[in-house]
Structure 1
Amino acid sequence: MKAVVVGLVSASLLLAGCQEKEQVVAKVADEKISKTQFEAYLKHKHIPTTAEKRVGAALEQYLEREALAKAIEDSQFLDNELTAAELNEFRKQMLISRYFEKYLNQAVSEDALHNYYAGNPDQFQSKRVNVAHILLRVRPKMSEQEIGVVKTKAYEAYSKLRANEDFSELAKTYSEDRLSAEKNGELGWIKEGAIDSEFSKVAFSLEEGEFSKPIRTPFGFHIIKQLQAPQVVKRPFEAVKGDIRYQLRAQAKQAEYEKLLKQVKVEKIASSKG
């Protein structure tokens, strides 16, 4: 392995500066290390140029690693072409990543998030209604006759409701949804579209205090009672800010990516035989 010659100026000289256009702070073999190069390294390591002792130690370590890398490169022990290709791929990835990181931090600001939230209210609000039900279950593999028996029982409960019997008491007696039955049949607030479509349609079409005829869903026969009229609920900005940021950053990145590709001309050179 060839000897590597390292020339070094002191950290104090480096910090003092000079009138040269490009100050040389050290040499590794015949390659000069400029002040600009080394200050970029200090910036990468988050070392202030005013911290003289740290700068001196950093310069020593920097030059040692430069010398070691130079010696290994000159030794031809490694495949230098492969190493160069790997470094070039890393350089491209770093450039692209750093560019988009900085670009998106500027393009998708806090104001942009607020503007999107204010301009797209339908995305962040939902309709909900407070309901109770009486459920008579229809189970898989039931015969039509068995389903008819369940339906008859549902209409029996419905007839009693029409005769002004108490909904909560009938829920406790008839409903096979035991969890809600113990709470007077109450399901609480449900979002529009979050449950079976037929159940949702009926629940939102009722008047407050009104109950429905028995309706069929995959779960069985329901009698639905609207306890409170539908309300529109808007999710707070803080709850959706992260989702908005993710969406806007994805859109901005795609748009910028396509713009950059249009600015450069990529030519493919096909090799021909003969």
Structure 2
Amino acid sequence: MRATFILSVCCLALLSACNQQNFETDDSQFQAYLKVKRVSPDDEQRVARYRAEFERRAALANAIYDDDGLDRELLDAEVAEFRKELLISRYFEQYLNESVTEAGIQNYYSENIDQYKSRKAKVSHILFRTNPRMDKTERDVVLTKATEAYSRVNAGEAFEEVAKAVSEDAISATKGGDLGWINEGAVSATFSDKVFNMQAGEISEPFLTEFGFHVIKVTEPAQEVTRSLDSLKGDIRYQLRNKTKQAETERLLKEAGYQAPEPADS
């Protein structure tokens, strides 16, 4: 991005001279050019190389300046738009870097900590799938299978072994039904409500969600977790920069007396 900006400044310096009779190559302009290129005045070899390029481009631009084939009004309009875009971009780059600080991000995180809290629980399940095309008789057959699995677990068989044997969730079945840690509200509402109202080690009777009939076991109790600032810093910075830019844009336009035109009647 910085390289693009530097190139843009170079182009702006050259193109803005289109409103003059020629492109100057005096020392003050060249020194400014070196700053844009981030070349130290003490680096004699690079200074000499950039001086030659600076003067070559100026000579070339001067040679074609009066070419009748150029649409001068179009070129001037393009330069004007480019200058406005560069000015706006440069202003907000500096303004946002100064306004959205690490301290500001920390304060925002602290003031909104509740929205970064969630509950999670570790869960295993045995699933018997249904689909919307099933009639009540077909669904009852699936429920019977789920009830049999529940009875086996309730009678003392290891939940993990029953899951491996009969669960229709092929991925979790290979792990004894283990779904890992799930966040409250991150899955089916019915499933989530059931999980987060159970105790660790508790096994549910079969219940239906849009996926089918489940028998679940909460293997680790529900606990509250808070996302760390480090994991959220990028998102918060992006959010604050957008809000800050919008507010500053509105302030600047108001200061300039700008009023948005009324929408045209359709």
Does TM, normalized by the shorter one, top 0.5?
yes
Pairwise CA distance, 1:258:
1.0
* Alignment match, 1:246: 238
Identity %: 49
Pairwise CA distance, 1:94:
0.7
Q: Distance in 2 between matches of 1:140 and 1:78?
A: 68
Q: Report the CA distance shift for 1:220/1:39 in structure 2 as closer, same or farther (over 3 A).
A: same
* Alignment match, 1:80: 72
Greater CA radius of gyration, 1 or 2? 1
* Alignment match, 2:186: 194
Q: Distance in 2 between matches of 1:30 and 1:163?
A: 95
The 8 Å contact of residues 210 and 225 in structure 1, kept in 2 or not, is answered as yes
The 8 Å contact of residues 128 and 233 in structure 1, kept in 2 or not, is answered as yes
Pairwise CA distance, 1:102:
1.0
The 8 Å contact of residues 22 and 65 in structure 2, kept in 1 or not, is answered as no
Which of 133, 140, 146 lines up with 1:148 in the alignment?
140
The structure showing larger relative contact order (alpha-carbon pairs under 8 Å, at least 6 residues apart) is: 2
Q: Distance in 2 between matches of 1:193 and 1:78?
A: 63
Which of 31, 48, 57 lines up with 1:65 in the alignment?
57
* Alignment match, 2:215: 223
Q: Distance in 1 between matches of 2:259 and 2:222?
A: 61
User: 3-state DSSP class of the match of 2:196?
Assistant: helix
How many aligned positions are there?
241
Pairwise CA distance, 1:137:
1.4
Q: Distance in 2 between matches of 1:73 and 1:184?
A: 78
Instruction: Give the counterpart letter for 2:130 in structure 1.
Output: V
Pairwise CA distance, 1:52:
4.4
User: 3-state DSSP class of the match of 2:149?
Assistant: helix
The 8 Å contact of residues 25 and 54 in structure 2, kept in 1 or not, is answered as no
Pairwise CA distance, 1:185:
2.3
* Alignment match, 2:8: none
The 8 Å contact of residues 135 and 175 in structure 1, kept in 2 or not, is answered as yes
The answer on 1:206 being equivalent to 2:198 is: yes
Instruction: Give the counterpart letter for 1:132 in structure 2.
Output: S
Q: Distance in 2 between matches of 1:235 and 1:77?
A: 62
Instruction: Give the counterpart letter for 1:116 in structure 2.
Output: Y
Instruction: Give the counterpart letter for 1:98 in structure 2.
Output: R
Instruction: Give the counterpart letter for 1:92 in structure 2.
Output: K
The answer on 1:119 being equivalent to 2:117 is: no
Q: Distance in 2 between matches of 1:259 and 1:71?
A: 44
* Alignment match, 1:167: 159
The 8 Å contact of residues 201 and 218 in structure 2, kept in 1 or not, is answered as yes
Q: Report the CA distance shift for 1:154/1:39 in structure 2 as closer, same or farther (over 3 A).
A: same
Q: Distance in 1 between matches of 2:175 and 2:51?
A: 74
Greater helix proportion: 2
Root-mean-square deviation over aligned CA pairs: 2.6
Q: Distance in 1 between matches of 2:161 and 2:23?
A: 92
Pairwise CA distance, 1:201:
0.5
CA distances 1:140-168 after superposition (whole Å, capped 9, x unpaired): 42222111111122223334444444433
Which 5+ residue runs of structure 2 have no aligned equivalent?
Answer: 1-19, 261-266
Instruction: Give the counterpart letter for 2:114 in structure 1.
Output: D
Pairwise CA distance, 1:40:
1.5
Q: Distance in 2 between matches of 1:183 and 1:241?
A: 35
| TM-score, normalisation: structure 1 | 0.77
